[in-house]
């Protein structure tokens, strides 16, 4: 993970170290003097002008997406940190850095097995309304490579959009297994089947009808159990503009932060993405997203 220091004002790398900037909660930060524009600057490692330390911010993000509500994370800070942050601030940190890291991870190309399991589930957002979360997981790596968050009930239009996202995920599947939802066959055919080429060379759609087989689509259901376990503790995701961002944070936690209990590895590593994240993987991802701006 190489950090090429550039002047924030002119973008050049002709500089020298020149003292420190004292901060209240982050200690001393190295200052630089640019020989090109003759201005001082500090290096941006993803936390530029943030008032709290990078360790504290990433700790809160990890705790939130691990399974603590923003208020429980706030209470954790009160018990273990000299300076506190409100639960609104913690949510703002989560949304800000999820968007930043997602922009970077979308440029990566995971090596997937092509054994896809897709399904949809209800997510609590408001007291009297549930949204639908569509999710596709590659079982060979446990990597989630396509999702869709929708405020509407299950329908053909959203199913087709979901299949389009799977197709755009840089790996044509060997097969996609779904449940017996009436919208899946039509959506699958419209996206993956064409009159060109041989049919046996095109992806296979496997349908698992629980009423006939007596077996649930457990490989995707295990992912949904983890997702629901987290959203239930949030007591709903509240605002529609915020909910998809927070759901994406849960996906990042699954793909890049936590080791899978069966494989003992992080799904991104199984998918061939050897990222230099260090022990604090959220901190490493944020710095990678900063150093590799797209």
Indicate if 172 and 258 belong to the same structural domain: yes
Q: Are residues 39 and 172 in the same domain?
A: no
On whether both 256 and 121 belong to a single domain, the answer is: yes
Give the DSSP letter of residue 3.
Answer: -
Does residue 24 fall inside a structural domain?
A: yes
- Whole-number mean pLDDT of the chain? 88
Angle at 223 between CA 217 and CA 229, to 5 degrees: 120
Closest alpha carbon to 61 in 82, 47, 49: 47
Distance CA 23, CA 26 (A): 6
Task: Quickly tell me which residue has 């990042």 as its tokens.
Answer: 252
What strands lie across the sheet with 15-22, from one edge to the other? 15-22, 28-34, 40-42
9 lies in the same domain as 132:
no
102 has pLDDT over 70: yes
Claim to verify: residue 120 and residue 262 sit in the same structural domain: yes
pLDDT higher at 63 or 217: 63
Q: Which residue has the tokens 């018990």?
A: 79
Q: Is the pLDDT of residue 199 over 70?
A: no
Within this chain, do residues 23 and 133 fall inside the same structural domain, yes or no? Answer: no
Domain limits for position 234: 115-272
CATH number at residue 181: 3.30.420.10
Does residue 262 sit within a domain? Answer: yes
Domain assignment of residue 264, yes or no: yes
Q: What is the pLDDT of residues 5-56, one digit of tens each?
A: 888 888 888 888 888 887 777 778 888 999 999 998 888 888 888 888 899 9
155-179 pLDDT per residue, tens: 999 999 999 999 987 678 999 999 9
The span from the CA of 227 to the CA of 250, in Å, is 7
User: Is residue 86 assigned to a domain?
Assistant: no
Give the separation between CA 119 and CA 111, rounded to whole angstroms.
21
**In a domain? residue 73:** no
Over pLDDT 70: what percentage of the chain?
95
Q: Are residues 164 and 264 in the same domain?
A: yes
Percent residues over pLDDT 90 in the chain: 54
pLDDT of residue 262: 83
On whether both 29 and 121 belong to a single domain, the answer is: no
Strand partners, 84: none
**Within a domain: residue 183?**
yes
Choose the weakest-confidence range: 22-26, 121-125, 208-212, 251-255: 22-26
Residue 290 falls within a domain, yes or no?
A: no
Same domain, 123 and 223: yes
Count of Cβ atoms closer than 10 Å to residue 1 Cβ: 11
How many structural domains comprise the chain? 2
The reply to whether 38 and 124 lie within a common domain is: no
- Contact (Cβ atoms closer than 8 angstroms) between residue 289 and residue 104: yes
Helical H segments across 138-238, by residue range = 156-167, 184-192, 210-213, 218-233
Do residues 35 and 138 both lie within one domain? no
CATH number at residue 14: 2.20.25
Q: Which has the minimum average pLDDT: 191-200, 220-229, 265-274, 277-286? A: 191-200
123 & 22 share domain: no
Per the domain annotation, does 16 fall within a domain?
Answer: yes
């Amino acid at each position: 993970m190489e950090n090429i220091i550039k002047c924030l004002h002119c973008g050049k790398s002709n500089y020298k170290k020149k003292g420190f900037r004292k901060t209240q909660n982050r200690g001393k930060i190295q200052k630089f003097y640019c020989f090109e524009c003759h201005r001082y600057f500090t290096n941006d490692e993803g936390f530029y002008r943030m008032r709290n330390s990078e360790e504290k911010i990433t700790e809160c993000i990890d705790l939130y997406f691990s399974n603590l509500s923003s208020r429980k994370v706030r209470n954790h800070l009160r018990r273990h940190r000299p300076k506190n942050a409100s639960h609104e601030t913690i949510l703002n940190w989560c949304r800000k850095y999820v968007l930043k890291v997602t922009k970077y991870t979308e440029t990566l190309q995971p090596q997937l097995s092509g054994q896809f399991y897709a399904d949809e589930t209800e997510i609590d957002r408001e007291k009297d309304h549930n949204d639908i979360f569509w999710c596709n997981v590659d079982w060979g790596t446990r990597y989630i490579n396509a999702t869709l968050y929708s405020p509407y009930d299950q329908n053909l239009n959203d199913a087709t959009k979901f299949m389009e996202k799977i197709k755009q995920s840089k790996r044509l599947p060997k097969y996609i297994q779904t449940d017996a939802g009436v919208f899946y066959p039509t959506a699958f055919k419209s996206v993956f089947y064409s009159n060109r080429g041989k049919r046996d060379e095109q992806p296979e759609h496997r349908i698992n009808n629980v009423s006939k087989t007596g077996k649930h689509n457990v490989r995707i259901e295990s992912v949904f159990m983890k997702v629901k376990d987290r959203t239930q503790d949030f007591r709903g995701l509240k605002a529609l503009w915020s909910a998809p961002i927070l759901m994406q944070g849960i996906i990042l936690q699954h793909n890049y932060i936590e080791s899978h209990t069966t494989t003992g590895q992080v799904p991104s590593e199984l998918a061939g993405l050897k990222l230099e994240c260090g022990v604090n993987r959220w901190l490493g991802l944020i710095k990678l997203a900063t150093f590799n701006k797209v």
